[in-house]
Structure 1
Amino acid sequence: MLRWYRPQLRALVYALGSLTVGCAGSQAARFETVSEFPEDAERHPAGVSVDPVSELPPSQDRADTSAGVVVLTTPADPAQGRESVRRFFRAVVSESTEDLEAELGENAQIQLSSGARLPVAAFWRQRFASLDYAALAGSPLFRDKDIETYRGADIKQLGGRRRFPIAVPDDSMLVRVKLAITRSGRTRIFADEIYFLLRPSSDGYKISEVVEDFQLP
């Protein structure tokens, strides 16, 4: 039976040999390539998906989340208001008009018990000229617990349960100070309490209005 397959085996070997020679004689396919693009070739930036910028709604103190995108107003920081008032009193004790004016907003006014309204800086210059506030240096004018701070939103929540001598906008705050020292000897130098209205500014809060039941002697 092996002799019967010899012709077929011989033909198969011949075919494989021819195929091998054909592959060895053929050349590999070549493709044109470049190492760099010509200078005048048009280039396109990488595609980036950019979402259109939507304009945000105006800020507000309160908003319903069902309204979608809302922007809330940053609440006033009571600590900033109290610190501004402390710097105000330090300027008073040092009788520094310059330091005092640094805590005042533009056109800051003081409302007196007589109903008169005067520029805060000008009124304090008169007080420095006629009263000795430097003698109070080192004396505690008030205690921390005697400083009360109210934001505009807080006053709205109080309703009519508490009355204040001045209206407070939502973005502002009211600081009430109860003085521990009101006299130097027999001379009145402060009212029993002073209210400060502070409005937001580019560098914190500035005093825009003062209410004090006081008259120069």
Structure 2
Amino acid sequence: MSKNVRSRKVHHNSRYEHNERAIYNAILILMGAYRGRITARQVAKSAGLTRQTIYNHHPNINQAIVNNEKALLQKFSSGLDQQIEKLSKVTTDTNGRIFYAIMIFMARHDDVFFPVCTNINNQGLLYQIVEVAYPRLEISWLPVGLPAPCAGSERVESYLHKSVGIIRRWGKSTHCNVRRGGRYINSLLRATEDAAQNRL
């Protein structure tokens, strides 16, 4: 394959990804502003794209939301273990590394996550991110001898809700700035300890 063909493919892929993120970001902004149905025309105007570009990417707006969330979650999930390993130099606490990995991923995609964090009615993606990370957390659930509650149980849902609230406050207050995440990490670690001790 020639250099020009490779260069065009890379440019095409980066343009496609840029448009995807612009579409999703526009949808998030519009979801905060409109309670009703969002149209392709509104998304195109907000994203600075044509309606045809929107339809080239997705058959409809609802599918655009679903597709973009799936792609982000897949990207987060596939890189999570590697990111946690890299963070072993930052902290020896396994749970701390997991929470930092979440923040780093969100900071890298702040154009998507900052609008999510600022819109209290649009927290679904944050819940999905925390649900992906949950099985990796080290939580010594009580009482001793019983298995850890699985995702979907009332206890875990309460913990996820608390964690999402802390992450949302971090994203909103700091514009997804990892360097300003220390006290939020401490809050997440306390929430994890409270969950383990059945104090939530």
Same fold (TM over 0.5): no
Q: Which is strand-richer, 1 or 2?
A: 1
Q: Which is helix-richer, 1 or 2?
A: 2
TM-score (ref. length: structure 2)? 0.24
Larger Rg: 1
